[in-house]
């Protein structure tokens, strides 16, 4: 994009941010640029080239609270400014929130509309949180808040004395914003490719819906929760060989978690059973197998202003023999029966907490792959933040979860002005 256009766009956004402050609008202007740290034969060098304006406004009324928060984006990598799809976030507008929250009776809250939904105990690992994620943003080094994609949902919470109950109804399936060749190359089942992943997504209102529930209670400082989900695999893990398109097979998840203080830190344990309803006996080569997933984690302050956190995670395939017998891909690229992942997070705060050094590591000894996320951010003033991030993938094989992204490893720089 040419420099003059870029400068005029920046000045337009900055002047509109001054105007926004007068209207009790808040938000930020965020510029990011990222490059691959090696060649990718399937993709260009740039992983990020964007200028983003976020505006938000909250109205606190006696009977309700209304929230609108939206991003306006120039994205020089996706280059899809002529498209506008609020559902997938493609194009120049990414509507993050537009909802109304109210309390019809004092034991119930309702939030309706576009919203970010989160629950569960994992740290950048998700078992019972089946709300949409944005893996493209995560891998490209956008702010961590963008890992969560919005849901269009009705969220009802009940607060009887014995527990709290959350119920999320999404009338039309919201998939993850998954790796589809737009920005990153991926393993397509036979080879690495950067071409668009063709998918067929269920999109009938009220029919292709998702329901998620959580019941939780805190007792003696320990938080106990049970979860349920009925919907679809959030990434296109199925395949329709007739149409040649990837699909989102049916999925139900049942799980539980415990979280609380332990020996001066926070410990957590979470498990879930992934019931892949389109392939319960594990013999369908075009639908994923059922799984059991478990994670255990512990966080502790190591020394003053340095916090460490570690997790162990396992994904167990329920019918591995049947899966191997039916496996359609090249021999030797089958998934293991158990996928083990270890994570480590280190966060160091310096200079009055204005400088943050962070590192998050995923490492899978079974897949022999991993993903390093180092980052440095510095708050120059109360308004200005500068940061540098890395997203480094490594792996022995092209077909494992992180290994397939090795050529997508990237580093990025960002500046953000918040108002």
Partner 1 sequence: MKNWIFAITTLAVCNGFALTVDEIVEKANQAAYYAGSDGQADVKMVITDATGGERTREFRILRLNTGAGSQKFYVYFKEPADVRQQVFMVWKEVEQGKDDSRWLFLPALNLVKPIAPGDKRTSFVGSDFVYEDVSGRALWEDTHELSGETETQYLIKNKPNNPDAVDFSEYTVAIDKTTFLPVKAEYLDKNGKLFRRVEAVKIETIQGHPTVTESRVEDLARGGRTINFFSAVIYDTGLKESIFTERFLRRPPREATK
* Residue ranges that bind partner 1, judged by CB under 8 A: 26-28, 58, 60, 65, 96, 101, 109, 115-118, 144-145, 147-148, 157, 159, 164, 216, 218, 221, 223, 259-261, 264-266, 299-301, 303-305, 307, 352-354, 379, 381-383, 385, 416, 418-419
Choose between 136 and 339: whose C-beta lies nearer to partner 1: 136
* Smaller CB separation from partner 1, 99 or 400: 99
SS (H, E, C) the chain: CCHHHHHHHHHHHHHHHHHHHHCCCEEEEEEEEEEECCCECCECCEEEEEEEEEEEEEEECCCCEEEEEEEEEEECCCCCCCCCECCCCECCEEEEEEEEEEEEECCEEEEEEEECCCCCCCCCCCCCCCCCEEHHHHHHCCCHHHHECCEEEEEEEECCCCCEEEEEEECCCCCCECCCCCCCCEECCCCEECCCCCEECCCCCCCCCEEEEEEEEEECCEEEEEEEEEEECCCCCEEECCCCEEECCEEEEEEEEEEEEECCEEEEEEEEEEEECCCCCCCCCCCCCCEEEEEEEEEEEEECCEEEEEEEEEEEECCHHHHHHHCCCCCCCCCCCEEEEEEEEEEEEECCCCEEEEEEEEEECCCCEEEEEEEEEEECCCCEEEEEEEEEEEECCCCCCCHHHHHHCEEEEEEEEEC
Q: CB of 169: closest distance to partner 1 in angstroms?
A: 16
- Least gap, CB of 59 to partner 1 (angstroms): 11
Closest CB to partner 1 among residues 91, 308: 308
Q: Which is nearer to partner 1, 123 or 278 (CB)?
A: 123
Nearer to partner 1, 211 or 418 (CB): 418
Give least dist CB 16 to partner 1, A.
Answer: 15
Using CA atoms, how far residue 241 sits from 110, 199, 289, in Å, is: 42, 12, 17
Smallest separation (angstroms) from partner 1 to the CB of 416 = 8
Considering beta carbons, is residue 259 or 373 the nearer one to partner 1?
259
∠ CA 335-125-400, rounded to 5°: 25
CB of 52 to partner 1, least distance (A): 13
Work out how close the CB of 382 gets to partner 1 at its nearest, in angstroms, rounded to a whole number.
4
C-beta closer to partner 1: residue 360 or 405: 360
To partner 1, the closest distance from the beta carbon of 53 in angstroms equals 13
Buried b (16+ CB within 10 A) or exposed e, 205-215: eeebbbebebb
Least spacing, CB of residue 294 vs partner 1, in Å: 20
At closest approach, how far in Å is the CB of 74 from partner 1?
21
Q: Which is nearer to partner 1, 299 or 334 (CB)?
A: 299
**Under a CB-based contact definition with an 8 Å cutoff, are residues 68 and 98 in contact?**
yes
Nearer to partner 1, 145 or 207 (CB): 145
Nearer to partner 1 among residue 221 and residue 332 (C-beta): 221
- Dist. CA 57–CA 271, nearest whole Å: 37
User: Least distance from C-beta 403 to partner 1, angstroms?
Assistant: 28
């Amino acid at each position: 994009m040419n420099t003059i256009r870029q400068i005029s766009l920046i000045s337009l956004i900055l002047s509109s941010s001054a105007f926004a402050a007068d209207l009790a609008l808040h938000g930020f202007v965020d510029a990011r640029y990222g490059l691959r740290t090696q060649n990718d034969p399937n993709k260009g060098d740039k992983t990020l080239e964007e200028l983003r304006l976020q505006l938000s406004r909250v109205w606190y009324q006696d009977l309700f609270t209304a929230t609108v928060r939206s991003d306006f984006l120039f994205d020089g990598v996706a280059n899809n400014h002529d498209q506008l799809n609020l559902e997938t976030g493609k194009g120049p507008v990414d509507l993050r929130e537009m909802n109304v929250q109210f309390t019809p009776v004092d034991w119930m809250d309702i939030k309706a509309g576009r919203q970010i939904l989160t629950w569960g105990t994992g740290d950048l690992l998700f078992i019972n949180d089946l709300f949409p994620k944005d893996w493209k943003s995560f891998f490209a080094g956008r702010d961590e808040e963008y890992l969560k994609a919005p849901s269009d949902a009705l969220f009802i919470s009940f607060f009887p004395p014995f527990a709290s109950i959350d119920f999320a109804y999404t009338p039309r399936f919201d998939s993850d914003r998954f790796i589809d060749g737009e920005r990153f190359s991926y393993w397509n089942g036979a080879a690495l490719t950067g071409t668009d992943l063709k998918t067929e997504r269920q999109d009938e209102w009220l029919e292709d819906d998702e329901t998620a529930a959580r019941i939780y209670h805190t007792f003696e400082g320990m938080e106990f929760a049970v979860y349920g989900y009925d919907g679809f695999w959030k990434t296109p893990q199925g395949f329709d060989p007739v149409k040649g398109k990837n699909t989102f097979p049916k999925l139900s998840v049942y799980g539980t978690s415990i979280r609380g203080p332990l020996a001066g830190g926070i410990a957590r344990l979470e498990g879930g059973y992934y019931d892949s309803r389109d392939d319960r006996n594990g013999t369908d080569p075009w639908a994923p197998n059922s799984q059991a997933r478990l994670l255990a984690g512990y966080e502790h302050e190591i020394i003053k202003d340095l916090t460490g956190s570690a997790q162990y995670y396992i994904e167990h395939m329920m019918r591995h023999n049947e899966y191997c017998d039916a496996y359609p891909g090249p021999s030797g690229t089958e998934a293991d029966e158990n996928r083990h992942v270890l994570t480590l997070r280190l966060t160091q705060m310096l200079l009055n907490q204005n400088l943050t050094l962070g590192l998050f590591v995923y490492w899978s000894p079974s897949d022999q792959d991993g993903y390093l996320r180092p980052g440095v951010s510095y708050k120059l003033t109360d308004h200005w933040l500068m940061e540098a991030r890395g997203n480094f993938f490594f792996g022995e094989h092209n077909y494992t979860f992180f290994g397939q992204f090795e050529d997508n490893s990237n580093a990025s720089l960002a500046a953000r002005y918040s108002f």
